[in-house]
Chain A
Amino acid sequence: MSEQMVDITDVLRRKAREVANDAVVKSPQFSLFQGTQALEINNKRLDSGIIELSVEEEEFDVLCKRSLQEVLATSDAIFRNVFIWLQNSSLSVTVFSCRYVEELLVIYNKDANKGISSCRFGAVENVSMDPELLLVHKVLRSVVLGALHLVRLCLTLGQSGVVYEEEDINTQTMNLNVITMVESNDILKELNDSVDFLKSKYADSKDSEILQLILKTLVQLINLPQFIALKVPKLTDCSTPPQSPAMVSSLAALVDSLVTHVDYLNSLPQIPGCFSMGIQKRLDNRLPSRDLIPLKSEDYSSLKVLVDDLQRIWAISNRLTSQDVVNHALNFANTHHHVISRAIYALFLVRDDATVFGVEKVSDFLNEEMLRFSCWDSEYINTSNEIVKQKVAELTHQISSVALEWLSVMNQNPCRQRQHFSRLITVFDTLEYNSENFERNLKEVFQVNEEFEYNGELVLALPITSWVCYVKMDIMLHVVLRGFELELYQTWEFHQMYWYVNYLVDNILLILDRVIEYNRSKIYKIQQMKNQLKKKKGDQKLRYKEKMMKRQAQIPSLQLFVDTLNKKIVQYKIIQGLAVLQSIQLQKYIKSGILKTPDFPFVQNEEILYKLRMKPFASVGVPSLPPYSHYQFHLKNSLKQPHTPQDINHVKSSILSNIKIITDGIQSKDVTVSMHICSQDWLHWFRQLQRSCIGIGLQLQKPITATQRVVIDSKGFHRYFPVVNSE
């Protein structure tokens, strides 16, 4: 561009003066909103080109020899910076801010095709003659390679779509290729060679020992992709649970050792200029200038979290049923995890070949779920009509793709979980409509009569539709309750949302009751076969007896499923009880006038606010969204007839006794509760519900005055049921 350039400074300034003062002349394709992302020249906060560097930073020498302690301090800082980066920082202020990392990446990027041979800090002669040069060009280099490989692995996980780029993980690499052309095995060899070197040259040194720990930990982390490929067969009653994979147990031991040295590592001085903002000034950078993150913000605790998460994920190897998978997934969704564990969990749970844990098809998993809920020993399963079987298989195939989506929500962050669940509501609603039509059609066209007596009349059992409807309502409940966790609702909206929770749980309990009755009717029918047997004679009797024996073998399973559903009812009653208790407390505040819809100028009609808040549920057919007038009617009635202390005590004691039933079940590994995997997390979950019950109960006893205001206290209480205090 240098030749034939024309200076247009004056003409541009002159012509610009003709533009109106408040006008902007712009390209038609460009929106000014995009302009807000521009980096402003000479603005200290935005222009990385004016970052001022110290002499040490400017003159830092990556080629010179370093002591073992200096190499340890730098290696530790690089390694810790990987985990600081994974806590939502950018690479430029963490791993890439190390001069050794920058230098190696810049040289590598000039000739990436040469692989590991282009991964160096520069040209140095006679490296092999000097141990302190080897510490830099062999040991520190291998740490940089290991850390960058780990970064590359995390970037790959970030880009695989299982977590969100720039939301869960920052993937801006300053246009640097993060050693993608270097083989893992080459890096593992470098790391292992460095361990051998330290063992032979610095055998009795504490610094050497810690440095070896870092190198060995990197080796195990680089092997993480192997974890994703592990197949986890379902446990049978007589098989023993498989041991934790070697890489996870080794990693756990290494991290435990590393954590014990954190204080010592924090006391080591860093080489001046080794970590610098300089890379932001020197390389491609579309981000504003940012200060480096202090190293002490990471003390290997997030690495410990990652290891604990891997062990939690592996705990699924103890699963006996599909219900264990569902509860394990729900527990994963409900607990906090390292971003890498979340990515690994998604890939570990549903594999590329659409299998669950690499061993069973999603459709098989779904079939088991439906069988355990309502379909066991149903006519659809027992029928000999091949067309019906084929049609049922087609429907379950359709449902399994949605079930797959449900499973893939579980590793997302809580905001995304709610967003995906909201979307799934309409998907499941459509599925329910299709499924019901299908099941009614089966009766009319194929005479497959799946009926039972419920509330004194003969009704269609609709086992598949019942499952779909139940899952849909459970998702709806999650969406409402997650809103409390994510602080989406204003305090003055709490009452209507808990009222809706109550309404949803009522509907869930209805469907569970119906399915239980259906399952019981199947048990009853089998038991009645004995009476029929008495009427049979000869060969017919023998054949009937054989058939009866086969059917009788189904009774224990059916009874188990009834018991499981009853435990589900207990769990929903806990949620319902707490929603009721919370509503009673909120009604007190509403009655005393300290909780009301604020007088915002934009609030013209409270019904509009109600409809907006309930929008995710508005299109659902069953249960339909109650109109605002229903809510108003309920609220007015509740205010007129306040609950007596006896009523409140009854609700409280019912919640607490239901919690006890479930926690006892968890502790005794009751299969009908099915929370034996990650049982401590589940116990914590129910204990927090218990705390909320007690907290709200205590609050209910406090007198309220009209001059008070309401304050949310969520610390220590269950995330769905914070205590609304008055002060």
Chain B
Amino acid sequence: MESLEAVDFIGSELKITLNDGRILQGVLLALDSKPNLLINNCSETSIQRGHTNCRDLGLVSVPNDTIQSVEMKGEELDKAVKWKPAQ
């Protein structure tokens, strides 16, 4: 994983847990050095009145200070790592 660079995460589908508990899922379009993330086709999952609510938000910018954790599919990450040395 250490062989990867920031650009290698572009286009990956990420699951971002926010500090307020909401979960965002979508495709990473851009990031900066903070990193603030720009996520496309973003869906938001939250718990409202005891029910899980899922909705579409489209293009979303996620400031770094709102992010608790970022996850990625293991399979997709493996592919990115394998592809990297072959470059």
Contacts and interface: CB of A to CB of B under 8 A. Distances in A.
Interface of A: 1, 4-9, 11-13, 15-21, 23-27, 30, 32, 34-35, 37-42, 49-50, 58, 175, 281-286
Contacts of B57: 39, 49, 284-286
A32 B13 CA distance: 19
Interface in B38-80: 38, 40, 44, 46, 48-49, 53, 55-64, 66-75, 77
Contact of B71 (A7, A26, A50): A7
Contacts of B58: 39, 286
Contacts of A13: 35, 64
22 contacts: A4-B75, A5-B15, A5-B72, A5-B73, A8-B14, A8-B70, A11-B4, A13-B64, A15-B9, A16-B31, A16-B34, A18-B33, A25-B32, A26-B29, A26-B30, A26-B38, A30-B29, A42-B20, A282-B55, A284-B57, A285-B55, A286-B57
B22 to A, nearest CB: 6
A27 B11 CA distance: 7
A44 to B, nearest CB: 13
B13 A1 contact: yes
B59 A34 contact: yes
B73 A4 contact: yes
Nearest to A278: B48
Contacts of A8: 1, 9, 14, 70-72, 77
A41 B49 CA distance: 21
Given A1-B25, A41-B66, A19 B33 contact: yes
Nearest to B10: A27
A472 to B, nearest CB: 45
- Could you tell me the dominant secondary structure of chain B's interface residues? strand
Contact of B74 (A6, A12, A23, A38): A6
A19 B32 contact: yes
A4 B25 CA distance: 15
A526 B9 CA distance: 87
A719 to B, nearest CB: 39
B7 interface: yes
A38 B38 contact: yes
A15 B10 CA distance: 12
A722 B70 CA distance: 60
Contacts of B38: 26, 30, 35, 38
B70 A24 contact: no
B25 A23 contact: no
B55 A40 contact: no
Nearest to A16: B35
Nearest to B53: A282
A41 B70 contact: no
Given A16-B31, A25-B32, 13 more contacts: A4-B74, A6-B71, A8-B70, A9-B68, A16-B33, A35-B29, A35-B59, A38-B60, A38-B61, A39-B58, A41-B61, A175-B56, A286-B57
A25 B56 contact: no
A15 B60 contact: no
A15 B66 contact: no
Contacts of A34: 59
Interface of B: 1-2, 4-7, 9-11, 13-15, 18, 20, 22, 24-25, 29-35, 38, 40, 44, 46, 48-49, 53, 55-64, 66-75, 77
Contacts of B67: 9
B74 to A, nearest CB: 4
Query: Which 5 pairs across A and B sit closest by C-beta, in order of nearness?
Result: A16-B35, A26-B30, A286-B58, A284-B56, A38-B61
Contact of B4 (A7, A15, A286): A15
Given A37-B59, A284-B56, A9 B69 contact: yes
B84 to A, nearest CB: 12
Contacts of B48: 281-282
Contacts of B13: 1
B14 to A, nearest CB: 8
Nearest to A30: B29
Given A6-B77, A7-B69, A41-B61, A50 B20 contact: yes
A572 to B, nearest CB: 52
A192 to B, nearest CB: 36
A49 B44 contact: yes
A16 B64 CA distance: 11
B82 to A, nearest CB: 14
A18 B74 contact: no
Among A32, A37, A38, A286, find the residue whose CB has the most chain B CB atoms closer than 10 A. Answer: A38
B59 A11 contact: no
A283 B73 contact: no
A34 B56 CA distance: 18
A39 B73 contact: no
Given A1-B15, A4-B75, A7-B70, A40 B33 contact: no
A15 B5 contact: yes
A7 B14 CA distance: 10
Nearest to B46: A49
Contacts of A49: 22, 44, 46, 57
A37 B60 CA distance: 8
Given A1-B73, A6-B71, A23-B32, A18 B56 contact: no
B29 A18 contact: no
Nearest to B44: A49
Given A23-B33, A35-B30, A42-B66, A5 B6 contact: no
B10 A58 contact: no
Contacts of A38: 38, 59-61
Contact of A41 (B31, B56, B60): B60
A253 to B, nearest CB: 44
B61 to A, nearest CB: 4
A17 to B, nearest CB: 6
A21 to B, nearest CB: 6
Contacts of A283: 55
